Structure 1
Amino acid sequence: MSKLNELKSHLKRGKVYRRKHLDQWSKSVDRDLKTLVKDGTLQKIAPGMYLYPELSSFGPTPANEEELVRKYLDDNRFLVLSPNLYNRLGVGTTQLYNTRVVYNNKRHGEVIFGNRKFSFQRKPHFPNKVTPEYLAVDLVNNLDKLAEDKQDVLKRLSNKLSSFDMKNLKKAISAYGSAKTKKIFASMLMEGGYQHAY
């Protein structure tokens, strides 16, 4: 078996690889990667990152988002979300955003993989999954970045407080809310007749 074929034998479809993880199977990894990209086996999706795509009847399929982010960060600790998720809360946000936000402990800045844009934001604390309560806190944290009327969004959110699990909401405010967000929720909870200690 040639060295190039030996490298190919370790590749699995749908997986994203970093150059540094492939040099264990090749003594000329840069040359081999160049050959594999040229013959269409691999797709270069970012500097030092390659996809061995799954094939469908329409051709190669893009990388799974979680797989892409995991390989880029070289870490399992991250949370991917889109500002479009705020629209699920029913508080008047309707804008559609093309960026995915990745909360993580390692990297900060915008990165484009193929035609997908990711905004990596380093944060000390974030949950393992998105809940409605966390989403509400994240929305208020990012209020200044929204295109909608901020006061209208806050008014609608205040009117929807009863639809949240109050215990989980207070936990999310305490763990993930900025100082400004905590003040906003304290005011909302007081107006709604809720105990606002968190």
Structure 2
Amino acid sequence: MQKVEGLRSKLRKGRAYRREDLAQWSTSIDRHLSQLVEEGILKKLAQGLYYVPKPSAFGPTPPDENEVIKTYLKGDDFLVVSPNYYNSLGLGATQLYNRKRIYNHKKHEDVKLGNKVYEFRRKPKFPKKLSREYLVVDLLNNLKYLAEDEQMILENLQKNIDTFEAKTLQANAQRYGTIRTKKILQQMR
């Protein structure tokens, strides 16, 4: 009983933890994890991944999405992208998607973390932060996989190309774009 208290004292509300990280504070980690889950101190997100719920007026809340992804990947070198973000570009994209892609350097798989499925995609290069220009490049890279009218998106991009910073758009296309994306943007100059 004493040892589970030692583990409990290390836990922080709103944080996500890997089993292997918690094992250093317990001599019987699996039994202690089961006990803490049963007590509601910990919630299980996935195999070997847990979080400490944060209390709120509406009940316990899960940790921040970035915290979960950071813990899962064991680092913060990733970029979260959703096809829903394309709707903000003003190019006629209106579909809503129930998925997020996590560009990273380690994993390439679909993983359920808690009640959400994330598409982890290994990419050699991606920016640290999202920009409108990067979203245009990502939209064009993924256009054939979307439920949007491809021709309408391309026509709207042609009409609105001046609303994007030209040098930044070109730099993003050169660094992150597929051959097709580079050709499309080259023709729109």
**TM-score (structure 1 length as normaliser):** 0.94
Distance 1:31 1:158 in 2: 60
Q: Which residue of 2 aligns with 1:45?
A: 45
* Dislocated runs of 4+, deviation >2 Å: none
SS in 1 for 2:96: coil
Percent of paired sites with the same residue: 49
Q: Structure 1: which 5+ residue stretches go unaligned?
A: 190-198
For residues 37-77 of structure 1, the C-alpha deviation after alignment (integer angstroms, 9 at most, x for no partner) is 01111000100000101100211102211000000000110
For residues 66-104 of structure 1, the C-alpha deviation after alignment (integer angstroms, 9 at most, x for no partner) is 000000000110001211000000111100011011000
Distance 1:132 1:74 in 2: 28
Q: Are 1:68 and 2:75 an aligned pair? A: no
Residue 109 of structure 1: CA displacement?
A: 1.2
Distance 1:53 1:159 in 2: 47
Q: Which residue of 2 aligns with 1:102?
A: 102
Distance 1:171 1:78 in 2: 20
Q: Contact 2:52–2:62 (CA<8 Å) still a contact in 1?
A: no
For residues 90-140 of structure 1, the C-alpha deviation after alignment (integer angstroms, 9 at most, x for no partner) is 111100011011000000111111211211000000001100000000000
Distance 2:23 2:114 in 1: 23
Residue 14 of structure 1: CA displacement?
A: 0.2
Q: Which residue of 1 aligns with 2:114?
A: 114
Q: Which residue of 2 aligns with 1:150?
A: 150
Q: Contact 2:13–2:54 (CA<8 Å) still a contact in 1?
A: yes
Distance 1:88 1:29 in 2: 46
Distance 2:4 2:63 in 1: 23
Distance 1:161 1:49 in 2: 44
Distance 2:84 2:112 in 1: 18
| Aligned residue-pair number | 189
Distance 1:133 1:155 in 2: 17
Q: Structure 2: which 5+ residue stretches go unaligned?
A: none
**TM-score (structure 2 length as normaliser):** 0.98
SS in 2 for 1:55: coil
Q: Which amino acid aligns with 1:64?
A: D
Q: Contact 2:91–2:156 (CA<8 Å) still a contact in 1?
A: yes
The CA RMSD measured in Å over matched residues stands at: 0.9
Q: Which residue of 1 aligns with 2:141?
A: 141
Q: Which residue of 2 aligns with 1:59?
A: 59
Distance 2:59 2:152 in 1: 45
Q: Which residue of 2 aligns with 1:21?
A: 21
Q: Which residue of 2 aligns with 1:33?
A: 33
Distance 1:58 1:132 in 2: 34
SS in 1 for 2:40: coil
